[in-house]
Amino acid sequence: MAQKPSIPKGTRDFGPVEMARRNYIFDTIRSVYALYGFQQIETPAMENLSTLMGKYGEEGDKLLFKILNSGDFLRGVKDEELRATDDGGSSSLNHLAAQLCEKGLRYDLTVPFARYVVQHREELTLPFRRFQIQPVWRADRPQKGRYREFYQCDADVVGSDSLLNEVELMQIVDEVFRRFGIRVCIKINNRKILTGIAEMIGQADKIVDITVAIDKLDKIGLDNVNAELRESGLPEEAVEKLQPIIQLCGTNEEKLATMRDALKDSETGLKGIEEVEFVLNTLNSSFLTLHSSFELDLTLARGLNYYTGCIFEVKALDVEIGSITGGGRYDNLTGIFGLPGLSGVGISFGADRIYDVLNQLDLYPDTVETATRLLFINFGPAEAAYCLPILARLRQTGICCEIYPDATKMKKQMQYANQKHIPYVALVGENEMAEGKLTLKNMETGEQQLLSPDELLAALPH
């Protein structure tokens, strides 16, 4: 017996209904990006591992899908190198992976974009506003809302230090979720504030360990975060100093005032507060009408090492799910590819999680799943020939329509229309042909009208 086919865990198939919904998501995001002057690019699914490794921190590097070299990929690998991996040591495994794999699937769209900017620098006009909608892959453990293959919908601006870019990106986020009808909270922090906090507790060299740990607060809870901080080498005194900050409550203004006092001796920390204050004040100004709530969240760290300024994360308020959008400022991501000093800032919509949220809240417009507006019933060769010119004319005006390909029982054809949620059916028999008309049936109300082709065009909603 043949084995039943399956797909890898953490991946999904999408049928016509799902794809109609996903395209609604992509088209909505794409249209808002275009309103703000962003241009679309694409990059390959695979990148050289040298492009990807070391850009996402140690945790991220572990989640890279690596691609075995073609042909005899073990050629040149010594037996002792293979045996050295038996103990499971990460250094020996990484060394072996580097020999066996030269390429990997992209982990996100930001690092490939940085590579693209450096590679195509002479062709770009700065500041360059790009958007990109493509899948990414992560060797993560699949769970609710977490997939191994998922789409990101990124927008980035490179070649500008202005915080107006952050403000406009937050406007984009607000407008996209307004169009979806999803209530969200947009959380904001700044990596400079986190650096200042690390300096304040006397652990500036532990900034990566601190940010990786506190970024997990929502997932693992305060006790486990503190345990992870201790395991990373933070002394108990430093962990205790962090507690008031991790648990800081109040309005955004109150939090900023508290942190301005706490970080008064940190030039970097105060700069971060100044940047967050500008973004929040501009977004809250009377000349902008926004629908989302904005929260300064000092535990937001965005575990990716390349962020250097403001960072963002979006949470849905009516569904229990992880972040559905994130992003931030990176001052020198292109420097790792030989083009230093080029600042950028970007956001990324998690299309797959947004898809889940829209499904749970049933927020799709009624028209999303209806592709075909009109089905012509096929009564035979003569009737089909009569219908074809009408079909062509309807399509020229943008009306989606089709003719059932086989002259089979009418009941079967009507069932087809019902199952595909086609709202109208056209019936053409000998009488209609003799009069140069057709009968239009509304599948919801059952109402029928005898119409000419011109009258049909006027009767159908475009």
* pLDDT one digit per residue (tens) for the chain, 462 residues: 788 999 999 999 999 989 999 999 999 999 999 999 999 999 999 999 999 988 887 788 889 999 888 766 666 666 555 555 555 555 555 556 667 888 999 999 989 999 999 999 999 999 999 999 999 999 988 887 688 999 999 999 999 999 999 999 999 999 999 999 999 999 999 999 999 988 888 888 888 888 888 888 878 888 888 888 888 888 888 888 888 888 888 999 999 999 999 999 999 999 999 999 999 999 998 788 899 999 999 989 876 677 899 999 999 999 998 899 999 998 887 888 888 889 999 999 999 899 999 999 999 998 787 789 999 999 999 999 999 999 999 999 999 999 999 999 999 999 999 999 899 999 999 999 999 999 999 999 999 999 999 999 999 976
Second CATH level (architecture) for the domain 185-317: 2-Layer Sandwich (3.30)
Q: Taking the alpha carbons of 191, 196, 201, 206 in that order, is the dihedral positive or negative?
A: positive
pLDDT at 86: 53
Nearest-angstrom CA–CA distance, 157 and 128: 6
Alpha-helical segments (H) within 284-369 = 351-361
Q: What is the pTM of this model?
A: 0.85
Q: For residues 321 and 212, is the Cβ–Cβ distance under 8 A?
A: no
Does residue 362 come out as left (phi exceeding 0), alpha (psi in the -120 to 50 range) or beta? left
Nearest-angstrom CA–CA distance, 382 and 374: 19
pLDDT at 229: 87
Strand order in the sheet with 325-330: 39-40, 128-137, 149-158, 344-350, 325-330, 310-316, 184-190, 293-296
Q: How far is CA 30 from CA 35, 61, 176, 348, 462, in A?
A: 9, 30, 10, 12, 22
Q: How far is CA 194 from CA 54, 97, 241, in A?
A: 21, 33, 13
Domain boundaries of the chain, sorted by first residue: 185-317, 374-459
pLDDT at 237: 86
Residues forming a β-bridge with 143: 146
Task: Tell the CATH topology of 374-459.
Answer: Rossmann fold (3.40.50)
3-state helix vs strand vs coil in the chain, percent to 5 = 45, 20, 35
Q: How many CB atoms lie within 10 A of CB 343?
A: 20
